[in-house]
Structure 1
């Protein structure tokens, strides 16, 4: 104990100026910038004022002027001959000094967030001569903070995205609040973040406001959007602290974690036999709950096909079945093939254990169309002597209906624009008649007709033009 006292005396001896005031408890306070008794009186040494900084709490709510502190000079003998003068920030308006006692008061409530410190100057004058008894000396009045400002976020609502199926602890977004209170004094601006809504899916770092995923396997196809409410509370989160909140709208972005699937694994398509090559005869569609690029699909016929092909409609993601070769109802009426669908783009993280393709069977039925009769030969060439009489037998033509072999076929002649001579055609047209010969044929109505010489020429011309008429 004695050793400690000796060391303290040695330190004071080194620091104490040779011209200082007497070594008394009051003067020790002046040396270290400490106030006397109530902490507000400032004394001077022979070499000038020994100032301590004044502190004043903001937002004073009293009815009278708020006491700041007291200036005092050793030149003041208490006889009223000393006058204290105050100049600088707010002197005479915000701050008033009693020129006799040196007491300083604030005239109104002060807000640290508007101005945190005021710099003023003090003088000691002889009241009778206004002679300066002390040199002009500067001192500060610092406004002490109280917790009068709640934390505020820059936005009322934030928007963020995070990929679905993210690992626990994946950072989503950081939201921070600001507090206008003094960051260097107390805990008025010490913020702690917490999550009020959004658990158990998300968590927040209590120190920096970073939101992270907290639940594994969050699936966008199950739930896509989340509303998370974050609170920032000052006073280090203690009871009585002020708080502010914000909402964070979090959307799970899509990844390709779902393969395409056919709702039905069998499709029936009908096609008329007259469909042009390259024409579409039907559409099939698989479902993929993913979106955008992750839902893009491509269709193909397993093993290929001679008659049909399938392409992908990039807009609707449907498989469009098209014709590669002409259909013929009379040759083949039914087809069947398998179609494969798969994603265009794959995510290596999710292909293990999942088959990112599916299959379906397509059955095509060809429908008949009414086709015109077809002659067995085209053209017919018949030689006739030039002097053959009208009405003479010159030859036989035969036709069949490709839709049904037992369907009746009727024959007729038609005037032609191409005749040997107009007069002859006109004469033949009015005189020649079609006559039938009851020749043996297995078809009752599909007879073989005998044509007069001029009519044969016209029929040949009609066949060349593929123009057929029936009676």
Structure 2
């Protein structure tokens, strides 16, 4: 396992040598590792904590995790050691069939900073596959008057490994009539051919048994064999000839099974049975053999399986036409699979906050979304948008990631929750789309003071009231939620001289009901002015107050009193004397 820190593929940034091995704090950082295939589960791939600039214990603290999607999770994080480890069997041939450089991509998410790092793991080939032939035995018919130097194509060997571990050479068992010649073509493949070195005589020997051996360059060398049976027949001196050396066709991926795609045609100038031609695939891989069928008599190629542009964009095969004498001709067939818009975009919510404070600043992150479309071209180009007039926006992040953030300040008292619909639509014709629904609650902050229902209050109480009698009640409403909306009531103390307000009136702090603490006497005072305070339980608390006028209503609780003449205090009867000369009307 060889960890490598390579350059960062970031547009507009060029940095050579000096910063090699330093992880850039940007959104396009990549970490490279190399591992051999067939590692045991739990094997160490690289020190991901070190390459992220973290200590091992910080991986769990900072929410570092793998967010890549796939059919099989091949890697995992060892939070104790800080290492990236293998989570299952890694088979290069299964993952990267036919690819010279096998690279596996995954993304590492730092949850606390919502930052994505790309990790590339190159899987190094080992020699775990021997060359093999699709056909263990091959029968070749050769005319007995065939001229020396005539060539016959032999089966092509397959080796799933690459490089020096792949197919390197062919060998032929010792015999007196044939030699082996290996042709190396422009595509890099080696094609063995049987060369006739000595004239044949069917009467002396009708069948020649040969063994073709294919060897790779691994250590140790692995080999595969095929048995060749050369049947000597009489008098057929013309080989078939294809009308074209190469056939090309493009078909949409949604063609139905059984569709005839093309016709290959070879003619033989011989007559009768010697001119009859049998068609077959000479070179076809396992995947193409499961999708296409060649009619041996007609030369038509049709589908026997479903095409999928996302799995394979093209197929290359070689067909041969063989006559009764064993003479053959070859032609190449290239089938291109055209993409149709048959995959809707996929949206995965990688990180999500279910609630947000109503005073959160603009740009606060709510969710991180990963958007992917398996189609190609315009069919795979995806645009994302939010349905409805909501105070949120989508911002393009690293790669195919989008950040759902607030676009303005929120107000819980106006809208306590949101149902956000994110739509991902491709540019195909017709377009396909996917909707993702996100529920978000707006958490309350104490941003509203209690408010009384009236601007001021007036109350009337009849004098000589019993002590403790309720006078009236006041109510204040707080639009906040929870403790921020819990209101308590109190009386403001009067700064004027004399007995305090609290000696006359009390208030229930929970209900706002005011009670008389004494019996009032209208002849002593007629009104009382006080302030009621309503305060919530938020942090910090908010409050408001209201004025209350209490009027004492008179009762007929006093009899008339004669002030003059006064009643004598010595117990005698009072006498008023009037002069004898008093006239009517005298006072």
Q: What TM-score does the superposition give when structure 1 sets the normalisation length?
A: 0.49
Q: What TM-score does the superposition give when structure 2 sets the normalisation length?
A: 0.40
Larger radius of gyration between Structure 1 and Structure 2: 1
